[in-house]
Structure 1
Amino acid sequence: MSNQRIVHLECGKSTQVLYVLGTVINIDIYKPSPPGCRSFEVTTSPGVNYSISDKQNGSVVTHPAIRWALIKDSLLRVTVGQVSSAANDGKVKITFYGDDLDKPVDKMTLELTAVYVSLDVDADRDGIVEENNPNKSSWMWGPEGHGAILLVNCDKELLTTSEPDNMDDKVYTFEDLADMSRMIIRTEGPKLMPAGYTLNLHISPSDKKKVQLFRHEISSVTSVLGRTKELTAMDFTKGHNKIIFSAEGLAFPDNKTATLVTFNLSVVNQQLPIFTDQVVLHFAPWIMTPNTQAPEEVYVCSSPGNEKFLIEFKKFVQKAQCKLTICPVTEHAGDIWMQDEIEFGYIDAPHKFMNIVMDSPRNRGLKNFAYKFLLGRDFGRIDVKSDKIADSLDGFGNLEVSPPVTVNGKEYPLGRIVIGSHLPIHPDGRKMVKETQDLLMAQSVQSPIILYSDWLHVGHVDEFMTFVPAPDRKGFRLLLASPLSFYSLFKRLQKEGHGEAMMFDNAYRDPIKINDILKNQALHERNTHVQHCIDWNRDILKVELGLDEADIIDIPTLFKPTKAKTHVGAYFPDMVNMIVLGKYLGIPKPFGPLINGECALEAVVRSALEPLGLDCTFIDNFTSYHIGQGEVHCGSNVRRKPFTLKWWNMEI
């Protein structure tokens, strides 16, 4: 709302108005002037300032008791520099003169009660609600930016409550208020205030569904705005006052235009606002953490048949010095795919950090894991819901994020999200539900990339790509599954006289010779097509992540048709589908041919990754995960440390 306001005066009368510091009152002098008047003069009480403006001369700063010629467009602009000590103590008197310059014709008077009103938030993002920040009503990204931040309050402070804190209109503990954004109304006025003025705090109908505001009383905290309420009214009380509120986000935005919430504070008289102050808050985005971020906690399931895997996996996690949480069989109902059910991330504001787990709409046996094992104090949950029946691509093995990158001069300091989908020319193919994709797109800070993964039986991007840390270049390497590298390796081994060496020797299926694999022409042709699919994604990733060939490492992989024939799955345990814990890599044991006592596939991977300072541990997940179309990464999950960079300091 404009800080300018028109007030109409009448000759022979005194008009009383409430004036809000920082605004301008405009008074038309010409229209109410008596007939025959030629000039006028203005006198004011101390602290009341004015200027005269007209269309011809613009504004002219004046001094008391200066007479002015009365012309058609004369406009008096009045401001007050301090709060009134008593009601109506600010005076503006306008005296009119005709031909006799010593004899006044008439006069009109304005009496002002000056008050101070400010709606305040943490607009400079330092954790403190400063007073009347000039940038509080807008948002700007970057280290020199401004604008307050709002968190979705989706953790649970009390174990006795059944839902996240943002699901009701109650505040059960003072700790819950720490998750919210502080907002303050500050007012100053004389001890005796004019009657009939109220303070109205209001939001738009669309914003009321996104935010809830609590007012702090002496002995309680009450919901006053949001959900079903668009307006709350308060009396404009005398003296110096500070009314404290706390705002919580109710849901993560699902489109980019919904990331801002606006609160308006109006001074109202006779149901009309005479002044409006405004603040804008930006929802904190949900941020995923890439493999290059240090691990904090690892999650996996126990189930009949994966005892041997768990023994090896525990040793690996212990070596990486990470905390391990194991979901018992009684809690997952045979759904051992921990990666597919949840994705870890966080939200952050100057006043609060919160871990947030996103819960997939797949809703199989692990559907209650995030709710029962993770949701708690400072650990929130996003429950993605969809009317569409979830398919395989809705599992979060199909949701990854790159390390930070710079692409053609544009920085992505929090990396970029990677999602698998169908080819654009095949719109009827499988893809993530719209609700998940819309939510991810709306977070803005990790601009998603869409890849082609529908050629896989499961259809997840983690089946053909992952990222590992590196000490040089961009700080990481992209690992890509490569049938071409597999055939190149096996042809070399055959040429070196190892054609009779066996795949799967001492494994869980019938061994097969290198020679027999290489002479399977149908398998080779299918993997040629697979390589084309991976190369299609390779080209996208190089462009979207600003990668060179030296940033990519090809990992020998072989795929085979599944029962559906139209899709493929891993022929042997897919080594790209690994878990990354700092420099420690938990890699599916491939059961490749033994050459001089060493697995040839493991040797190739070691030679590619160990020079980067990475420690490779090959874990047997053949019966526990591989035969179910997954590997180590599919069956585990990692919560990682957040970025040190604050997202609001990004340049968008």
Structure 2
Amino acid sequence: MVIMVMRKLLEVERFDERRSASKERSQNYEDVLIVGQPVQISLKKLAPSQTKLIILNTSGEVELFTSTDQIVSTQTPLSLEQFPEINLLSRTFSDQIKDRSLQISFQDDNGRQLSLVKLKLTVVRVCLDIDADRDGVIDEDNPQKADWKWGINGHGAVLLVNSDRDIVYSNQEDDDTKRLIKGLLDLKDFSFMIVRKTGLRDLPSGYELYLSVNKDIGKKIRIYDELDRDSYELIGPGRIRAKIRDTNRDILLAIEGLSYPQPFTQKWWEVEPTFLK
């Protein structure tokens, strides 16, 4: 099994040309980026219908590039047809809320500005760490956590299916039917991961950190809250997204498998940290 951070789309609404009669329409947005996680903006969807050119300007540590990893120039006119979308990436976390920005000027073929989009950005470092090298220790940001390799010298966390009965001849239900952790005997059947956030102590107003999986994966695993609480189910069958309640410290989570992979099916799964407003 591999647990990895997935690429996410930076959601920005399409500009509605009917909203304003002013000649120079301006839109202001704000969003949160995760260090090292590229996000994408569709310039074509944002652009007014008469747009031919765009001019991009950034402040703070923000990189712009295309889907083919071509660096995108700033402060110079670019053809919208050649750059229908761009990717953003930041490699360092913010010292202050909204300390970076992206400005997009949409212009017609005569260089007349049709619309101006301003995006204020806050960058947070979030790591979802696992025992990627299988030595029993959860390393911080191990580069092999986003890949899987079989064998004794392989990498990627191993997920156990917790389907046994911890006490022989007990009348208790099997472990895979429970929805919470019951004692130390259960812990030997779990894998563990740590959610780490560094940078700003508090998130920008209105933003919350969630873990999520797709519906298919949600039927096959359970993720439990940190072990010094009641350790109730965060994610599992019927629940594919859960809020991380405390983002000011490292959070230890337990994860178990509910079923074994079938032949010729995907044998690695993804868990994704995301910010929602």
The verdict on a shared fold, with TM-score over 0.5 as the criterion, is yes
Equivalents in 2 of 1:236, 1:89: separation in Å? 25
Q: Report the CA distance between 1:91 and its aligned residue.
A: 0.7
**Aligned partner (choices 154, 173, 181) of residue 145 of structure 1:** 154
Equivalents in 1 of 2:119, 2:232: separation in Å? 40
Q: Report the CA distance between 1:67 and its aligned residue.
A: 1.4
Q: Which amino acid aligns with 1:179?
A: D
**Aligned partner (choices 59, 64, 71) of residue 70 of structure 2:** 59
Does residue 131 in structure 1 map to residue 146 in structure 2? no
Q: Equivalences for 1:449-598 in 2 at 5 Å?
A: none
CA contact (8 A) 2:128 2:193 kept: yes
Q: Which residue of 2 aligns with 1:25?
A: 40
Change (3 A) 1:47 1:155: same
Does residue 83 in structure 1 map to residue 98 in structure 2? no
**Aligned partner (choices 35, 41, 64) of residue 55 of structure 2:** 41
Change (3 A) 1:189 1:199: farther
Q: Which residue of 2 aligns with 1:5?
A: 9
Equivalents in 1 of 2:144, 2:172: separation in Å? 36
Q: Which residue of 2 aligns with 1:256?
A: 263
Measured against aligned partners, the alpha-carbon deviations of 1:585-623 in whole angstroms (never above 9, x if no partner) come to xxxxxxxxxxxxxxxxxxxxxxxxxxxxxxxxxxxxxxx
Q: Report the CA distance between 1:114 and its aligned residue.
A: 1.9
Equivalents in 2 of 1:144, 1:29: separation in Å? 46
**Aligned partner (choices 124, 127, 132) of residue 118 of structure 1:** 127
Q: Report the CA distance between 1:12 and its aligned residue.
A: 0.8
Q: Which residue of 1 aligns with 2:196?
A: 186
CA contact (8 A) 2:59 2:102 kept: yes
Q: RMSD of the TM alignment (CA)?
A: 4.0
Equivalents in 2 of 1:40, 1:2: separation in Å? 28
Equivalents in 1 of 2:101, 2:157: separation in Å? 38
Q: Report the CA distance between 1:233 and its aligned residue.
A: 1.5
Q: Report the CA distance between 1:266 and its aligned residue.
A: 4.8
SS at match of 2:102: strand
Q: Equivalences for 1:194-343 in 2 at 5 Å?
A: 194-195=205-206, 197-202=208-213, 204-205=215-216, 208=219, 211-226=221-236, 228-235=237-244, 238=247, 240-250=248-258, 253=260, 255-257=262-264, 260=267, 262-267=269-274, 269=276
CA contact (8 A) 1:207 1:262 kept: no
User: What TM-score do you get using the length of structure 1 for normalisation?
Assistant: 0.34
* Percent identical: 22
Change (3 A) 1:257 1:184: farther
User: What TM-score do you get using the length of structure 2 for normalisation?
Assistant: 0.70
Equivalents in 1 of 2:86, 2:216: separation in Å? 38
Higher relative contact order (CA 8 A, sep 6+): 2
Change (3 A) 1:82 1:247: same
Change (3 A) 1:29 1:59: farther
Equivalents in 1 of 2:218, 2:264: separation in Å? 11
Q: Which residue of 2 aligns with 1:425?
A: none
Change (3 A) 1:127 1:164: farther
CA contact (8 A) 1:201 1:266 kept: yes
Structure with larger Rg: 1
Q: Report the CA distance between 1:260 and its aligned residue.
A: 3.5
Q: Report the CA distance between 1:47 and its aligned residue.
A: 0.8
SS at match of 1:91: strand
Change (3 A) 1:264 1:89: same
Measured against aligned partners, the alpha-carbon deviations of 1:222-253 in whole angstroms (never above 9, x if no partner) come to 23344x54434215655x432212223456x3
Q: Which residue of 2 aligns with 1:68?
A: 77
- Whose helix proportion is higher, 1 or 2? 1
Q: Count residues in correspondence.
A: 258
Q: Which amino acid aligns with 1:148?
A: A
Q: Report the CA distance between 1:195 and its aligned residue.
A: 1.2
Equivalents in 2 of 1:206, 1:60: separation in Å? 35
Equivalents in 1 of 2:109, 2:189: separation in Å? 70
CA contact (8 A) 1:30 1:70 kept: no
Measured against aligned partners, the alpha-carbon deviations of 1:140-172 in whole angstroms (never above 9, x if no partner) come to 21344222212344363x689544862544534
Q: Report the CA distance between 1:188 and its aligned residue.
A: 4.1
Equivalents in 1 of 2:183, 2:98: separation in Å? 44
Q: Which amino acid aligns with 2:249?
A: N
Equivalents in 2 of 1:206, 1:99: separation in Å? 48
Change (3 A) 1:261 1:107: closer
Query: Gapped runs of 5+ residues in structure 1?
Result: 271-652
Equivalents in 1 of 2:234, 2:113: separation in Å? 54
Equivalents in 2 of 1:59, 1:178: separation in Å? 47
Equivalents in 1 of 2:205, 2:48: separation in Å? 28
Change (3 A) 1:68 1:195: same
Equivalents in 2 of 1:254, 1:73: separation in Å? 43
Query: Gapped runs of 5+ residues in structure 2?
Result: 16-24
Change (3 A) 1:148 1:217: closer
Comparing 90-99 with 180-189, greater Cα deviation is found at 90-99
CA contact (8 A) 1:34 1:96 kept: no
Measured against aligned partners, the alpha-carbon deviations of 1:61-110 in whole angstroms (never above 9, x if no partner) come to 43x5x312434232443222222233332211124567887x96653211
